[in-house]
Amino acid sequence: MAVNFLVLIFFSIFEVENIFKSPEDFKEKNFFKNIFFGKEETERFLSPYSISVFDKNIAICDGERIFYISKNKVFRINLPFSSPCMDIALGKSFIFSSFPQEGVVGFYDLNKKSWGKIDFPLGKPNGLYYDLKNEEIYVVDT
C-alpha cells in the first residue's frame, strides 16, 4: 500500500525531472530538480535533504524550504530561520524540522499555518524521528 502510494505521488501528483543528463554535468554544480504545482507552474529545488511520509501525505525538505504534498496539492512552506534545515519528521498536524546551526527544532502547525520552535541551548539538533503511536518527537543531538 505504501509503495503504491509513493508511486502515485511520483507519477501523478508532481513530476520530478533531472536537468543534468550526464555525470559530467554534476561536476562543481548543484543538482537541481523540478517540482510541478499544476497549471504549468514548476519550481526548481535542490536534491532533498529529507523526506517524511505520514498516512497519505509527504513532506520534502531541500534545505531552503519544505514542500508538503497532501490530497493532490503541493504547498511550499518557507523556513523561518536563516540556516538550512537538516531533517524533517511529519506528524498528524505538524511538520518538525531541525536547524542545527540555529540550535532549534522548528515545528510548523499545518492547521494554523504558523511556525514555532524548541530551543536546544546545549547542542545542535540534527536527526528527527516522530513516534506516531505516542505522538512524541525524538531528536538526535550532534
Give the pLDDT of the chain (142 residues) as one tens digit per residue: 444 444 434 443 444 444 434 444 444 444 445 555 555 555 666 666 788 888 888 888 888 888 888 877 778 898 998 888 889 999 989 999 999 999 999 999 999 999 999 998 888 898 899 998 898 989 988 7
CA dihedral 61, 65, 74, 55 (to 10 degrees): 40
Is residue 33 in some structural domain? no
Residue 39 lies in a domain: no
d(CA 41, CA 96): 27
Q: What is the CATH number of the domain that holds 123?
A: 2.120.10.30
Q: For residue 131, is it within any domain?
A: yes
28: amino acid identity, one letter = E
Structural domain boundaries, residue 66: 47-142
Q: Residue 129: inside a domain, yes or no?
A: yes
How many structural domains compose the chain? 1
- Kindly list the distances between the CA atom of residue 1 and the CA atoms of 9, 39, 104, 113, in Å, as whole numbers in the listed order: 12, 29, 34, 29
Reading the block at residue 131, the C-alpha cell is 513516534
**Predicted model pTM:** 0.69
Do 79 and 85 meet the contact criterion of CB atoms below 8 Å apart? Answer: yes
- Specify if 34 maps to a domain: no
Asked whether residue 113 is assigned to any structural domain, the reply reads yes
